[in-house]
């Protein structure tokens, strides 16, 4: 009963035959901070569009606060706030006017709206620029204004589609702080999508990792990392092609090593319990057979390792290849 | 009533955008003003040849109706760009996830278009007045002129709105606008008396929907309340409106649903 979002076997096939969302099921509980982590084009925005009544699903069940997304769209719109991936403020209007307009669209008016606008301008620290045209705002200011307009009618459920993509680290940290406050202090349920591991790790209490329209794994960040189970050691060889088979064989024979995967970036990814101790052993073993190393990196499991384990790729590779603008066309 | 108040807020938004881009408003008025001030000068001697213009009517007085319509037509055919822009920027989506009444999104746009063309027409009429062209039917006639132009503007906005939503390309909207404007204007009595035009143009202009609106406004400007001209014009505009706004509604449903 406390599921505010319930999705079962959701499928979305675009008219060109692309299966953007492929039979996904998940639930989000009231008050939870839930995230979709995945690369561009994984189906994150499509899922949000279905849940926010912008896009009709092909099949499956999707409810928000118990309301069916197709049949009870009006009810859903009353209780959700949405920040889309593209920043959408009207540059010809001032920040305050943007918020007032959004409030009117949400059927608010009078003193109540004015007070709410002032409150939000304070929250996102835009009071000083409130009466300047939004056209002149920086990217971070526009994002903050956009976030404020999603909050205008005090929605209990917030959908944030990549709220920090393209922002500098400082602005990102500021937005994170707002979001944590909204979740903790105001009890808002937040559904967030991101392609940033750090963001998912830091903010989300529970998350689903999504790739090519499918949920590949889900749980709390800690659970997911435990699933990988081991520390990872990334071993880069000077002549990867020639030496990797030999190196792999050597490393696999060591005690504690659970898995060695080949990767394009670092040549070999070694997974092991207590990996720290193994670093020196690996260096010594490879050196003794004249395999030259260029670097060895040790890390505790990250969400990227979880992603790698399930998909064979790192999230970052995708991020660099596809520009965010490639998503803009995929509206419908 | 949420439809009324939502329409009002959408209307106000477009108006604010218009007022804050005065340069755009100025440039859109530039062409009609040039026609009013310069083009009418070129043909001012037309009144020296009897039988071309109605007796006692200057070319300026004659041409004002055509220039008003030319402006309304050009303005209406660019209306779709704003929708394309709102779709591209994501602003339309942002509206659609709110509780805003769906028809209000379209109605607010259309009413702001109508308002804009009335303001432009008032400026043109005021300038024409300064130059020496009066509306013989007085204030009531002026109101009827505004009504006719607003109605005409709405009807033709429909084409560019429907196209804008269908193609999602402002280039296409611009191109279609440019493609339609001059043939339709030249094949109408916009700038010359119908009797002055070759037979084939006279015949074609009978089937040109904008001829009727031009005649109605011209009648109100220089003849009087001749309802045998005004009512058919409204009828033709209504016919165009049903077609274009019908198409707009169909496209809008596709965008919204």
Could you state, in order of their start, the residue ranges of all structural domains in chain B? 2-256
Q: Is residue A212 domain-shared with residue A262, that is, in the same domain?
A: no
- CATH code, domain carrying A291: 3.30.70.100
Q: Is residue A209 domain-shared with residue A244, that is, in the same domain?
A: no
Contact state of B99 with A107 under an 8 Å Cβ cutoff: yes
Write down the pLDDT at residue A28: 96
Residue B256 has pLDDT above 90, yes or no: no
Of A175, A210, A225, the last residue of a domain is: A225
- The closest alpha carbon to A200, from A163, A226, A151, A229, belongs to A163
Write down the pLDDT at residue A62: 96
Q: Is residue A53 domain-shared with residue A87, that is, in the same domain?
A: yes
Q: Is residue A235 domain-shared with residue A276, that is, in the same domain?
A: yes
ipTM reported for the complex, 2 dp: 0.87
Q: Which of B10, B98, B254 to mutate to test the interface with A (most CBs of A within 10 A)?
A: B98
Tell which A residues from 131 to 160 touch B, by Cβ distance under 8 Å: 133, 149
CB B52 within 8 A of CB B92: no
Q: How many distinct structural domains can be found in chain A?
A: 2
Residue A228 has pLDDT above 80, yes or no: no
The tens digit of pLDDT for each residue in A107-127 reads 999 999 999 999 999 989 999
Across the interface, of A77, A97, A109, the residue whose CB is closest to B98 is: A77
Give the β-pairing of A267-272 and A231-237.
Answer: antiparallel
The tens digit of pLDDT for each residue in B112-147 reads 999 999 999 999 999 999 998 989 999 999 999 999
Contact state of A86 with B89 under an 8 Å Cβ cutoff: yes
CB neighbours of B180 closer than 8 A, spacing ≥ 6? B77, B159
- CATH code, domain carrying A7: 3.40.50.300
CB A303 within 8 A of CB A221: yes
Q: Is residue A240 domain-shared with residue A99, that is, in the same domain?
A: no
The tens digit of pLDDT for each residue in B138-173 reads 999 999 999 999 999 999 999 999 999 998 888 888
- Does residue A320 sit within a domain? no
Q: Is residue A237 domain-shared with residue A207, that is, in the same domain?
A: no
- Does residue A314 sit within a domain? no
Write down the pLDDT at residue A321: 40
Residue B210 Cα distances to A162, A308, B143, B215, B234, angstroms: 49, 65, 19, 9, 11
The whole domain housing A266 covers 230-300
- pLDDT band of B181, cuts 50, 70, 90: confident
d(CA B68, CA B33): 10
What length does chain B have?
Answer: 257
Q: Which residues in chain A have their CB less than 8 angstroms from residue B257's CB? A: 56
Q: A141 vs chain B: nearest CA distance in angstroms?
A: 17
What length does chain A have?
Answer: 332
- pLDDT band of A316, cuts 50, 70, 90: low
The tens digit of pLDDT for each residue in B41-91 reads 888 888 888 778 887 888 999 999 999 999 999 889 888 888 899 998 999
Q: Is residue A259 domain-shared with residue A200, that is, in the same domain?
A: no
Using the Cβ of B6 and the Cβ atoms of chain A, whether some distance falls under 8 Å is answered with yes
Using the Cβ of B16 and the Cβ atoms of chain A, whether some distance falls under 8 Å is answered with yes
B131, two tokens: 């130059």
Q: Which of B94, B101, B257 to mutate to test the interface with A (most CBs of A within 10 A)?
A: B94
Dihedral-angle region of residue A187 (phi above 0 means left; psi in -120 to 50 means alpha; beta otherwise)? left
d(CA A258, CA A188): 41
Contact state of B17 with A93 under an 8 Å Cβ cutoff: yes
Q: For the whole model, what pTM was predicted?
A: 0.83
* Helical pair B102-131 and B2-19, crossing angle rounded to 10 deg: 50
């Amino acid at each position: 009963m406390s599921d505010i979002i319930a999705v079962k076997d959701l499928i979305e096939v675009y008219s060109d035959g692309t299966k953007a969302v492929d039979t996904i099921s998940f639930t989000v509980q009231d008050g939870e901070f839930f995230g979709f982590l995945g690369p561009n084009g994984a189906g994150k925005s499509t899922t949000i569009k279905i849940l926010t009544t912008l896009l009709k699903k092909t099949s499956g069940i999707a409810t928000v606060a118990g309301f069916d997304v197709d049949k009870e769209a009006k009810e859903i719109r009353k209780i959700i706030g949405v920040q889309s991936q593209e920043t959408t403020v009207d540059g010809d209007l001032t920040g305050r006017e943007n918020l007032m307009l959004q409030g009117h669209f949400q059927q608010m008016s009078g003193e109540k709206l004015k007070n709410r606008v002032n409150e939000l301008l304070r929250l996102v620290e835009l009071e000083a620029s409130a009466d300047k045209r939004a056209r002149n705002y920086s990217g971070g200011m526009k994002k903050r204004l956009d976030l404020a307009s999603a909050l205008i009618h005090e929605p209990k459920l917030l959908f944030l589609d990549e709220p920090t993509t393209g922002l500098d680290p400082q602005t990102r940290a500021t937005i994170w702080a707002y979001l944590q406050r909204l979740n903790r202090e105001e009890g808002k349920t937040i559904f967030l999508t991101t392609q940033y591991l750090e963001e998912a790790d830091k903010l989300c209490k529970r998350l689903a990792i999504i790739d090519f329209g499918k949920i590949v794994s889900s749980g709390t960040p800690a659970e997911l990392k435990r699933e990988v189970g081991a520390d990872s050691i990334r071993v880069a060889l000077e002549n990867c092609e020639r030496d990797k088979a030999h190196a792999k064989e050597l490393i696999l024979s060591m005690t504690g090593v659970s898995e060695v995967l080949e990767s394009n970036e670092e040549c070999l990814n070694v997974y092991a319990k207590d990996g720290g101790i193994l670093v020196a052993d690996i260096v010594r073993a490879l050196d003794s057979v004249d395999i030259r190393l260029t670097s060895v990196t040790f890390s505790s499991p990250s969400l990227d390792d979880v992603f790698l384990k399930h998909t064979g790729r790192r999230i970052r590779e995708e991020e660099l290849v596809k520009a965010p603008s490639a998503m803009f066309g995929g509206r419908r | 009533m949420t439809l009324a108040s939502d329409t009002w807020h959408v209307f106000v938004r477009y108006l604010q955008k218009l007022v804050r881009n005065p340069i755009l408003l100025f440039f859109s008025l530039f062409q009609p003003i040039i026609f009013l001030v310069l083009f009418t000068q070129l043909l001012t001697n037309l009144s020296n040849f009897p039988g071309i213009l109605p007796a006692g009517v200057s070319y300026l007085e004659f041409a004002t109706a055509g220039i008003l319509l030319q402006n309304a037509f050009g303005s209406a055919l660019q209306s779709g760009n704003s929708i394309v822009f709102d779709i591209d920027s994501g602003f339309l989506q942002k509206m659609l996830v709110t509780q805003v009444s769906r028809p209000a999104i379209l109605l607010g746009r259309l009413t702001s278009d109508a308002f804009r063309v009335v303001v432009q027409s008032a400026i043109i009429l005021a300038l024409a007045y300064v130059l020496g062209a009066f509306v013989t039917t007085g204030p009531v006639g002026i109101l009827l002129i505004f009504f006719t132009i607003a109605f005409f503007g709405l009807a033709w906005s429909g084409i560019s709105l429907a196209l804008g939503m269908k193609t999602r390309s402002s280039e296409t909207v611009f191109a279609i606008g440019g493609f339609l404007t001059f043939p339709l204007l030249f094949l109408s009595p916009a700038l010359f008396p119908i009797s002055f035009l070759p037979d084939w143009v006279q015949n074609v202009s009978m089937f040109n929907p904008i001829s009727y609106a031009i005649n109605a406004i011209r009648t109100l400007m220089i003849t009087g309340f001749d309802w045998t001209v005004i009512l058919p014009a409204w009828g033709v505009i209504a016919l165009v409106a049903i077609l274009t706004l019908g198409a707009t509604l169909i496209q809008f449903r596709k965008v919204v649903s």
